[in-house]
Each structure stands twice: as C-alpha cells, then as structure tokens.
Amino acid sequence: MSNTTTTAIDPAAWIRRQSRWSALEVAFWLAALLPFYFFPTYLMLASQIAVAALFAISVDLILGYAGIVTLGHAMFFGIGAYTAGLLSAKAGWGEPISGLLIAGAMAGAVGFVVSFLIVRVQHLALIMVTLGLGLLTYELANAMSWLTGGTDGLRGIDIWPIFGLFRFDLWGYTAYSYTLAVLFLGFLAARRIVNSSFGLALRGIRENVRRMPAIGSPYRRHLQAIYTISAAIAGLAGGLLTQTTNTVALESLSFQRSADVVVMLILGGTGRLYGAVLGALVFLLVRDRLSGVNPQYWYFWIGLMLMVVVLFMPKGILGGLTRLAGRTKG
C-alpha cells in the first residue's frame, strides 16, 4: 500500500514509526543503572521496584491495551512465585534462570486455561470472575499448607548463584542486576507486542469489541493470547521476587497485591508501558519514604495521591507529563 495520493497512513510504516526508540527512552533505561553508582544502599528496593514494574507491565498488557479489567492478577504472580520457590525447596533445583522460565511457563499455562473463562465475560462480571479466581487460588494455597507452608510461608528456598558465578549478596548487587535484566527483556517483549498488528487489534477490542468480528478479527483468540502472555509475565515477576528474597508466602497471592498493581497502573498511566514502570517506581518510592516518616498512616497519602492523580491527570502521571510537554511545545 504505497499510496501517495491519499492522506491515509500506511499501517506498516506507522507501526515501524511507533516502535522506533526515542532518546528519552534510552535515557530512561540508562537512568535505571544509576542506583549501582549513586544509591548502593537502595539496591534491594530498586530490585523490588523492578519486580513490581514487570508485574505492572503484565497487567497493563491486558488492562491498558486489551481492556480486560482484572482484580485477581496476583494469582499468576503467586503461581510464579510458588513455582520458583517449590522448585528449590521441594525439588532441590535452585538454578535461577531455568527456575524462572519454568515459573513463567507454569503461570502462562494456568493463564491459558483460565483465559477460556475470561473471554466469555465482560465488565462487572469480568471483575468479579478475576477477583473470585484470585481469592480461590489464595484459599487453595492456604488449604495446601503441606505444600506451600501456609501462612508461615515456604521455607528452605536456596537459590544458586547466577551462571554459577554471581551469588545473591547482602547488598543486592546481583539481585538488582538480575531483576533489571529480566525487566528489560520483559519490557522489550511487551513493547514488541503492543507495537505490532496484534497489538493494534487488541486496542481495537478495547475500543469496541463488537466491531472487531465485523472486520474479520478473531477477538476471542486475541484476548486469550494476550491473557496467556500476561499471565506468563506476571509469573516471571513472581518468580523473580522469590528468587531474590528467598521467601514466598500467601501474601504473594493476596487481593492486596492485585489491588496494589492496579493502583500503580492508574498512578503511572494505563495503556502506555512506561506508565506501568513509572507507577511502580512512584508507588514503592513514596511508600518507602512515607512509611519511614510515619509507619502507621502512609496508606492515607497513597490514597490522597491516587485521588489527585485520577482527578487532575486522568491518564496517569505519564499522561499528565505528556500533555504538559505537548502544551509547552505548542
């Protein structure tokens, strides 16, 4: 379609333009290396931010791009976390990279099964189904305490050094290098997905699900595919958390975790991958700072911040910044 007479945009060229790297993006990822040099005592926090960001990206793929509202995504995070933990604690396999891949695959497999149910419901029912599935998984893990360790958490996790060389140290150098690398790879994959024709089809589903079959797009299959991918990425995030902290407890499956990740997304801005990363960064940094100042009431400020963002920056912090940048330019 190299039509020069009409003003219609060539879709392939449009996609290519979208997927070009901007200087700002490169600067962002370089900035992610700063903690190594300037904040070496914050590396564990940085590592947990990277985990939260990867989890937020997985939710953004379905919530921000495909319009699947979920309040139960911690289910996949937890499945990944427990898979990585059980591999080491029960099966004695502590090799981190293969363990992480198995964790992601496990979560993805469960996600694929669940996706058959997910694509059949919408709106309020969808929220209820995801919420219900999340709670069911939580209770299941609680009931199977012989396997999961129940409320005490899983014990005996021992993760081997990465490539047999880099031990997980007290300062968190290995942990942050590892989580940042996985976050970057996960981000690249997500970026490739949303900037493809498949990603465009997802946005079409989000905007108007009835029209998609009319233009010959099999929306159910698309939704299933993205839901499975999202579950697998969430599983990777969960596996990372287990491997870098050597602990996993029921909390990794909790409703709180599902809700927090949605809060992060809304803060950062949905439907734009950097919003997920930024949201996780802001949420965990603010939480860390505020809970240091006042350990009892920090959630009050998170609530206030959420309301301010939703009222004044409906597209999240990133959306607000983009609009601001646009205004100063124009």
Partner 1 sequence: MTKTVFGAIALAVGLGWTMAATAQETVKVGVILPYSGPFADAANQLDAGIKLYMAQNGDEVAGKTIEIIRKDTGGPSPDVARRLAQELVVRDGVDILAGFALTPEALGAAEISKEAQKLMVVMNAATSIVTEQSPYAVRTSVTIPQLNYTFGKWAFEEGGVTQAYTLVADYGPGHDAESSFSKGFTEAGGKILGSDRTPVANPDFSAFVQRVKDSNPEAVYIFVPGGGQPAAIGKALVDRGLAPPDTKIFAQGELTHPEALESMGDTAKGIITTYHYTLERDDPLNAEFVAAYREANGDRAPDLFSIGGYDGMHLIYEALKKTGGDTSGDALVEAAKGMAWQSPRGPISIDPETRDIVQTVYIRQVEEVDGSLQNVILQEIPEVKDPLHGAN
Supply the minimum distance, in Å, between the C-beta of residue 283 and partner 1.
Answer: 12
Window 181 to 240, contacts with partner 1 (CB under 8 A):
none
Residue linked to tokens 């997500």: 190
Closer to partner 1 at the Cβ: 39 or 116? 39
Q: How many residues bind partner 1 (CB under 8 A)?
A: 40
Closer to partner 1 at the Cβ: 225 or 249? 249
Residue of 96, 99, 108, 172 that binds partner 1 (CB under 8 A): 172
Residue of 3, 296, 311, 312 that binds partner 1 (CB under 8 A): 296
Q: Is 161 in the site for partner 1 (CB under 8 A)?
A: no
Q: Is 103 in the site for partner 1 (CB under 8 A)?
A: no
Closer to partner 1 at the Cβ: 212 or 241? 241
Q: Is 155 in the site for partner 1 (CB under 8 A)?
A: yes
| HSE value, Cβ hemisphere, 13 Å, CA-based, for 152 | 8
Q: Is 295 in the site for partner 1 (CB under 8 A)?
A: yes
Here's the x/- map for partner 1, 251-270, by CB under 8 A: it reads as xx-x-x--------------
Task: Give, in order, the Cα–Cα distances in Å from 12 to each of 2, 103, 294.
Answer: 10, 35, 52
Residue of 245, 266, 273, 279 that binds partner 1 (CB under 8 A): 245
| HSE value, Cβ hemisphere, 13 Å, CA-based, for 181 | 9
Supply the minimum distance, in Å, between the C-beta of residue 263 and partner 1.
Answer: 13
- Helix, strand, coil fractions of the chain, as percent rounded to 5: 75, 0, 25
User: How many angstroms separate the CA atoms of 90 and 155, rounded?
Assistant: 9
Task: Give, in order, the Cα–Cα distances in Å from 132 to each of 5, 125, 162, 213.
Answer: 53, 10, 37, 29
Q: Is 170 in the site for partner 1 (CB under 8 A)?
A: yes
Query: 234 near 58, Cβ under 8 Å?
Result: yes
Among 43, 63, 51, 46, CA closest to 252: 51
Query: 256 near 144, Cβ under 8 Å?
Result: no
Residue of 28, 152, 185, 325 that binds partner 1 (CB under 8 A): 152
- What are all long-range contacts of 302-308, with beta carbons under 8 Å and residues at least 24 apart? 302/263, 305/267, 306/263, 306/266, 306/267
User: How many angstroms separate the CA atoms of 244 and 137, rounded?
Assistant: 23
The Cβ of residue 240 has, within 10 Å, a number of other Cβ atoms equal to: 30
Q: Is 144 in the site for partner 1 (CB under 8 A)?
A: no
Closer to partner 1 at the Cβ: 247 or 322? 247
Closer to partner 1 at the Cβ: 235 or 269? 235
SS3 at position 145: helix
Candidate ranges 113-121, 191-199, 219-227, 288-296; the one touching partner 1 (CB under 8 A): 288-296
Supply the minimum distance, in Å, between the C-beta of residue 93 and partner 1.
Answer: 20
Residue of 112, 246, 286, 321 that binds partner 1 (CB under 8 A): 246
Query: 141 near 78, Cβ under 8 Å?
Result: yes
Residue linked to tokens 């996609």: 15
Closer to partner 1 at the Cβ: 83 or 245? 245
Window 26 to 45, contacts with partner 1 (CB under 8 A):
36-37, 40-42, 44-45
Q: Is 249 in the site for partner 1 (CB under 8 A)?
A: yes
Q: Give me the residues that bind partner 1 (CB under 8 A), please.
A: 36-37, 40-42, 44-45, 48, 142-143, 145, 150-153, 155, 170-173, 177, 241, 245-252, 254, 256, 287, 291-292, 295-299
